[in-house]
Amino acid sequence: MMIKKLLFAPLFLLYANTFAQSIQATKIDSLLNTLHHKEMFNGNVLVAKGGKVIYRGSRGMANVATGESLNPETIFELASVSKAFTAMAVVLLEKRGKLAYDDLMSKYIPELSDYGNINIKHLLLHTSGLPDYMDLFIENWDKSHFVTNETIVTEFVKYKPVVHFKPGERFEYSNTGYALLALIIERVAKESFVTFLKNNIFDPLGMLNTSVYRSRYAPRVLKNYAVGYVTDSLGNKVAADSLGKGHYYYYLDGVVGDGMVNSTLDDLFKWDRALYTEQLVNTADKALIFQSGVTATGEKTDYGFGWEIGESKKYGRLIYHSGGWAGYETYIGRQIDHDATIIVLQNNSTFLTYTPKSEIRKIICDEPLHDPILKSLKLTDDMFAQYIGNYFEPNIPLNLNFFKKGDLLMLQADGQHALPLDAYEDHTFRYDPANIQLTFDLKAGIINYKQGKSNFQFMKKKR
């Protein structure tokens, strides 16, 4: 009997764990359905625990013009999530004795010797003080030509933009540092950044659908590729390239290092798994990569080598990065104490776009998503009629307009985009991404509007 009990216990735990993960996957699926229905999500998601994928799915269109839908193998531009690969390339070169973290930037880019004591580690940690190159090019560049990493150097030499602070003095996120790191990698390795990442990171890890790809600067045929969509000046969703060659999305497409890695859910999961091993670097290297930088005054920056660093009592150590560029919004988050991974890739960057990383993290940690006191509701036509109308606050020059769109109540403030609201009992509505809660007092004709710690009362306009 004892033997049977001992055999049954682990079997029971296995089934219980599988059942729990199935429930979590269903909740994630429901969450994405809701967000997609409200035009807040268009992309791919992968969630894993203990090295096992518990959710992998897609919502929406990869290419509106061709009618191609997203699928889990679709390739997305990663934007700043690319920075972790640039940092890893630097670490690999340091391990091979090709450079040192304390080496001055000017050792490899002597054209920038006027920028003094900035070293490679300063570039990695965003403590160099260098201003972001994007502002310089938006103001001064001939937009009919592409910008490359080399031209960033020539323009810095030409215009000599002033540093914002002394190296190491404080943290300031700047794409310039990672663009210059890519150039250093090329000069040290004596091969292109594109080739170095392919030969030393992507191919060794079996990331066969990952590459450094510049769709405008160096176009090539790339199958199953997600087109990036943005909101134009009229509030319409359009392909990023439709903004024209004079838009910075287009002419900055030649720059690598701070972005331009393109990948898939499965390849990023391979990357995640490799970071738990010594396949690329050893334990000491990883400790350095995932360690927060420190300023000259001893203040932690919460940024390591290409990764943001967080600490939570609930979730343990969080190693993560997000990205946003040319219609793409991306995120990879790793709870390394609990071996949980969340990857979110979107090819829409509109006013409504939302990355549900916090909600997914709550789901896989079995936390409630919303206040359990209020139950969600599906509105009927009669119920909609109670809420539709215009509201004002005498001391605020802002009107709120409520209208029906499909099966959703929408909120639109003067001069702003419309927001889809979640309906709950007791005449309560929410827009969680902006922490907005509205409660209608139908008899009094007022709305109690709460956003964060702010509270207002709006009155219904009489017809």
Find out whether 431 and 422 touch, Cβ atoms under 8 Å. yes
| Class of residue 234 by CB neighbours under 10 A (exposed 0-12, middle 13-18, buried 19+) | exposed
326: tokens are 């040319």
| Class of residue 429 by CB neighbours under 10 A (exposed 0-12, middle 13-18, buried 19+) | buried
- How far apart CA 22 and CA 34 sit, in angstroms, is 19
What are the strands of the beta sheet with 76-77, ordered from one edge? Answer: 76-77, 261-263, 211-212
* Beta pairing class for 436-441 and 428-431: antiparallel
Catalytically annotated residue among 22, 58, 80, 128: 80
Q: Is 174 a catalytic residue?
A: no
- How far apart CA 207 and CA 336 sit, in angstroms, is 21
- How far apart CA 334 and CA 170 sit, in angstroms, is 26
Find out whether 347 and 43 touch, Cβ atoms under 8 Å. yes
The DSSP result for 265-309, as a single string, is HHHHHHHHHHTTTTSSS-HHHHHHHTS--B-TTS-B-SB-SSSEE
Q: What residues act catalytically?
A: 80
